[in-house]
Structure 1
Amino acid sequence: MLSPAAPLPAPLDARASGLMLLLCLTWGLQQISLKAVADAASPMLMVAVRSGIALLLLAVLMRHRGERLVRAHWAPGAVAGGLFALEYVFVSLALQLTQASHVVVFLYAAPLFAALGLHWRLPAERLGRRQWAGIALAFGGVAIAFLNGDTAPGAGLWGDLLALLAALCWGATTITIRCTRLAQAPATETLQYQLIGAFALLLPVALLSGQWAFDATSPRVWAHLGFQALVVSFASFLAWCWLLRRYLASRLGVFSFLTPLLGVLLGAWLLDEQLEPAFMAGSTAVLAGIVLVSLRDGPRARLRTRVSAAPARAAWRASRR
Structure 2
Amino acid sequence: MSTKLAASFYATLSITFWGISFVSTKAVLDKLDPYTVLVIRFGFGALFLLSVLVFMRYPMKLALIHVPALIVLGILGVFVHQIIQATALLTIDASHAGWIISFSPVFTVFLSMIFLHEKVTLSRAIGIGVAIAGVILITTSRSGQGISFAMNIGYLLMLLSTLNWAVYGILLKRLHIPLPSIVITFYMSALSFILTVPILIKGRGWEDLALLSPGEWGHLIFLGVFVSGIAYWYWGKAHEVLEASQASAFMYLEPLATLIAAVLLLNERIFLQSIAGGIIIIVGVIFVNGQVWNLRNILKKRRV
- 2:71 is matched with which residue? 78
Which runs of structure 2 are paired with 1:1-321 in the superposition (5 Å)?
15-72=6-63, 73-83=66-76, 84-96=78-90, 98-100=91-93, 103-104=97-98, 107-121=101-115, 126=118, 129=121, 132=124, 136=128, 139-140=131-132, 142-143=134-135, 146-150=138-142, 153-156=147-150, 157-182=152-177, 184-209=178-203, 211-212=205-206, 213-215=208-210, 218-289=213-284, 291-292=286-287, 293=289, 295=291
CA contact (8 A) 1:27 1:259 kept: yes
Greater shift, 56-65 or 220-229, is seen at 56-65
How much identity, in percent, do the aligned residues show? 23
> Which blocks of at least 5 consecutive residues in structure 1 are unaligned?
1-11, 302-321
Q: Which amino acid aligns with 1:41?
A: L
- State the alpha-carbon separation in 2 of the partners of residues 104 and 253 from structure 1: 14
Per the normalisation by structure 2, the TM-score is 0.76
1:204-247 Cα deviation digits (max 9, x unpaired): 22443565532276322322222112211111111111112211
- State the alpha-carbon separation in 1 of the partners of residues 175 and 157 from structure 2: 27
SS in 2 for 1:181: coil
- State the alpha-carbon separation in 2 of the partners of residues 140 and 15 from structure 1: 32
- State the alpha-carbon separation in 2 of the partners of residues 191 and 282 from structure 1: 33
CA shift in 2, pair 1:271/1:161, >3 Å: closer
- State the alpha-carbon separation in 2 of the partners of residues 291 and 235 from structure 1: 27
Q: Which structure has more helix as a fraction of its residues? A: 2
CA shift in 2, pair 1:165/1:260, >3 Å: same
**What is the aligned-residue RMSD (CA, Å)?**
3.5
SS in 1 for 2:148: coil
CA contact (8 A) 2:85 2:157 kept: yes
Q: Which amino acid aligns with 1:139?
A: A
1:224-282 Cα deviation digits (max 9, x unpaired): 22211221111111111111221111232243244234323432233332322223423
CA contact (8 A) 1:136 1:289 kept: yes
Per the normalisation by structure 1, the TM-score is 0.72
- State the alpha-carbon separation in 2 of the partners of residues 138 and 19 from structure 1: 29
